[in-house]
C-alpha cells in the first residue's frame, strides 16, 4: 500500500509544462526526508529521474526538475515531449512502523 | 556497464516457494545496500526488503515478514530473495535495486522478474 499520494494522471500537449504532486505526512516527507522520482516507461524497470529533491543524475534532461516543501513535493516537466509519456513515482523514507522506503501511488503522464 | 540481472521468477502454487536472484556487475557491489521492490500487475511500486552492504542489517515489509528472506554474497556479487508460503497477493514483477551507502534512493535497478502465484 502506497503511503505517498499522487494524482493518477496528468496530460499536456507537446511543449507544455506539467507538474506532478506527491503528498506525504509527518513521518516521511514532513520529517525532512528527501524525495526522489522515478520514470517508468511501458514494459521497463523504473529509472532514477530526480534524487535528493532536486538533483538530476547524469543523462537526465534539464526539462525535469523537482522541488519539496513541507510534507509535499513536486516534479515538473517543461517542454513536454512524446518520449516523456510514462509512469512517474515519487519515493521517500518513512520513520513509522509502516515501512522504511515508501513510494507514491504513481502518475501516468500522457502527451496529447 | 552497470548491470543488475534478475532471475528465478515463474509460476508457484499458493503455499509454495521460489528463490529469486540478482547478479551485479560493472560497479562495486559491496558499497551498496540492496532492496527488492515489487509491482503487482497494473499497480504501483512496493518496497519488500532491504539488506545493508555488509548484510548486518535486514528489514522487511510487514506484508512479507516471516515468509521472505533476503541474503547477499559479496564475494559473488549476488543478492537473493527466498520466498516461502507464497500467496496470491505476492504475484508481481520483482525488481532488485541498489542503494549507495549513506543515501536512500534506488539506483541501479534490475530488469525485473515475474512471479505468479496461482493454483
CA-based angle A104:A50:B63, to the nearest 5? 30
| H-helix or E-strand spanning residue A42 | none
**Residue length of chain B:** 119
Phi and psi, residue B32, nearest 5°? -120, 140
Of A44, A93, A103, the CB nearest to B45: A103
- Using the Cα atoms of residue B4, residue B8, residue B13 and residue B16 in order, give the sign of their dihedral: negative
The grid coordinates listed for A21 are: 504532486
**Chain B environment of A91 (Cβ under 8 Å):** 45, 105-106
> Is the CB of A88 inside 8 Å of chain B's CB atoms?
no
Q: How far apart are the first and last CA of chain A?
A: 30
What span, in angstroms and rounded, lies between the C-alpha atoms of B108 and A33?
A: 20
Predicted confidence band of residue A96 (pLDDT cuts 50, 70, 90): confident
pLDDT less than 50: residues of chain B: none
Predicted confidence band of residue A1 (pLDDT cuts 50, 70, 90): low
Of A33, A46, A99, the CB nearest to B47: A99
Report the pLDDT value the prediction gives residue A98, as an integer from 0 to 100: 63
Residue pLDDT, tens place only, B67-86: 999 999 999 999 999 999 99
The residues with which B86 forms a beta bridge, in sequence order, are none
Average pLDDT rounded to a whole number, residues A53-80: 97
* Surface of B (20-79) touching A: CB under 8 A: 35, 37, 44-47, 50, 59, 61-62
Smallest CA–CA distance from A45 into chain B, residue? B111
What span, in angstroms and rounded, lies between the C-alpha atoms of B20 and B36?
A: 10
Report the pLDDT value the prediction gives residue B101, as an integer from 0 to 100: 87
Amino acid at each position: 500500500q502506497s503511503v505517498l499520494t499522487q494524482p493518477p494522471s496528468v496530460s499536456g500537449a507537446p511543449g507544455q509544462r506539467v507538474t506532478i504532486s506527491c503528498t506525504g505526512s509527518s513521518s516521511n516527507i514532513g520529517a525532512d526526508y528527501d524525495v526522489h522520482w522515478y520514470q517508468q516507461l511501458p514494459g521497463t524497470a523504473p529509472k532514477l529521474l530526480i534524487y535528493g529533491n532536486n538533483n538530476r543524475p547524469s543523462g537526465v534532461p534539464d526539462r525535469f526538475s523537482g522541488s519539496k516543501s513541507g510534507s509535499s513535493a513536486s516534479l515538473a516537466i517543461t517542454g513536454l515531449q512524446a518520449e516523456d509519456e510514462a509512469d512517474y513515482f515519487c519515493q521517500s523514507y518513512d520513520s513509522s512502523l509502516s515501512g522504511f522506503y515508501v513510494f507514491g501511488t504513481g502518475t501516468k503522464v500522457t502527451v496529447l | 556497464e552497470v548491470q543488475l540481472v534478475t532471475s528465478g521468477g515463474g509460476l508457484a502454487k499458493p503455499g509454495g516457494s521460489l528463490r529469486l536472484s540478482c547478479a551485479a556487475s560493472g560497479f562495486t557491489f559491496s558499497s551498496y545496500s540492496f532492496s527488492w521492490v515489487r509491482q503487482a500487475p497494473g499497480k504501483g511500486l512496493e518496497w519488500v526488503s532491504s539488506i545493508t552492504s555488509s548484510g548486518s542489517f535486514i528489514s522487511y515489509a510487514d506484508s512479507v515478514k516471516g515468509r521472505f528472506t533476503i541474503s547477499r554474497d559479496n564475494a559473488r556479487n549476488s543478492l537473493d530473495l527466498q520466498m516461502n508460503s507464497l500467496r496470491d497477493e505476492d504475484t508481481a514483477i520483482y525488481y532488485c535495486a541498489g542503494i549507495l551507502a549513506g543515501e536512500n534512493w534506488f539506483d541501479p535497478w534490475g530488469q525485473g522478474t515475474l512471479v505468479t502465484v496461482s493454483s
